[in-house]
Amino acid sequence: MNLAELQGAYRDYLLSGDSGRLAPAIVADAFDGAERLAIYRNNFLIGLGEALKANFPVTLQLVGRDYFEQAAWRFVLAHPPRQPCLFEYGAAFPDYLRDLPELGALPYVGEMARFEFARIASYHAPVERYLAADALAGLPADQLEALAIRRARHAQIVSVSAPVVELWMAHQAPEPDLSAIDMTARSQVLLVCRPDQTVVVRELAASALQFMSAAEHETRLGNVAARLGADAALARAIALALELRLLAIL
């Protein structure tokens, strides 16, 4: 096999576990080719399972280590990484967990995973040039309205119905106490952002959500403001955006 064919055979083996095509390319001695290859497949699954544990630490605690590992290894085979940085791995894991039949009665598991992935995405998002209060004050109204902006990459929005923030907070303790958490479903929209070095979480009011949604793609500041109308809700949304550096200037 040439190098590309050999690597293609590895890919097929690692994802399927069938070493029929690759084993003959491996020197057999005290261990045969399939046994030696199995060490690599084991390392591949364990390594990516550990990466998912690192990205979803509270989700791991919610379902327990044994269940998490089984689910993670199945996920790895179905959705292997498409990028080299492991902190970017697992975007599809929350939906994968949500759709597992045995977790159907625990909808907060998938929501927690979504919240944890938003935290990581926010933490690693690029630093941009943010709209700041002094820029607003220094510009005439027409230029202000024409300012090209977009929601900052670190500003993630997550809709949940379970008390994931309370659950997450409780699991930061070595021995989580969940007795005081009211698990009754209550729809909430969470803003997960990183204005400086630390991730911050806030519940978003409907008007602020409308404001942030209007700025999801590149637009003019005037267009975003027009969605809310000039009232107290707009002022509050802009104040939040300035405080948490939620708008990037393009």
Partner 1 sequence: MNSVALPSCSHLPVASGIGLRAAHHERVATERPGIAWLEVHTENFLGGGATPALLESLRGEYAISLHGVGLSLGSAEGLDQDHLSRIAALVRRVEPAAVSDHLSWSVTGGVYFNDLLPVPYDEEALAAIARNVMRFQEAIGREVMVENPSTYLRHAQSDRAEPQFLAELCQRSGCGLLLDVNNVFVSAENHGDDARAYLAAIAPLPIGEIHLSGHHLRQIGNRSIRIDDHGSPVSDQVWALYEQALALIGPRPTLVEWDSALPPLETLLAEADKAQTRLDHAMRSTA
For the bound state, the minimum distance from the C-beta of residue 13 to partner 1, rounded and expressed in Å, comes to 10
Torsion-angle region of residue 34: left (phi > 0), alpha (psi -120 to 50) or beta? alpha
Contact in structure between 79 and 91 (CB atoms under 8 Å): no
One symbol per residue from 26 to 55: x for binding partner 1 (CB under 8 A), - otherwise; what is it? xx-xxx-x-xxx-xx--xx--xx-xx--x-
Among residues 78, 92, 127, 136, the one that binds partner 1 under rule CB under 8 A? 127
Nearer to partner 1, 73 or 87 (CB): 87
Contact in structure between 18 and 12 (CB atoms under 8 Å): yes
For the chain, the maximum distance between any two Cα atoms, rounded to a whole number of angstroms, is 79
What is the spatial distance between Cα 140 and Cα 148, in angstroms, rounded to a whole number? 15
Binding status of residue 15 toward partner 1 by CB under 8 A: yes
Among residues 125, 169, 189, 200, the one that binds partner 1 under rule CB under 8 A? 125
Binding status of residue 226 toward partner 1 by CB under 8 A: no
Among residues 64, 66, 83, 187, the one that binds partner 1 under rule CB under 8 A? 83
CA dihedral sign of residues 17, 21, 27, 30:
positive
Among residues 64, 101, 126, 229, the one that binds partner 1 under rule CB under 8 A? 126
Q: CB count, 10 Å around CB of 167?
A: 21
User: How many residues lie near partner 1 (CB under 8 A)?
Assistant: 50
Q: Annotate 42-66 with DSSP letters as a single string.
A: HHHHHHHHHHHHHH-HHHHHHH-HH
Binding status of residue 84 toward partner 1 by CB under 8 A: yes
Q: What is the CA radius of gyration of the chain?
A: 23
The residue ranges that bind partner 1 (CB under 8 A) are 1-4, 6-8, 10-11, 14-15, 24-27, 29-31, 33, 35-37, 39-40, 43-44, 47-48, 50-51, 54, 80-87, 122-127, 153-154, 194, 197-198
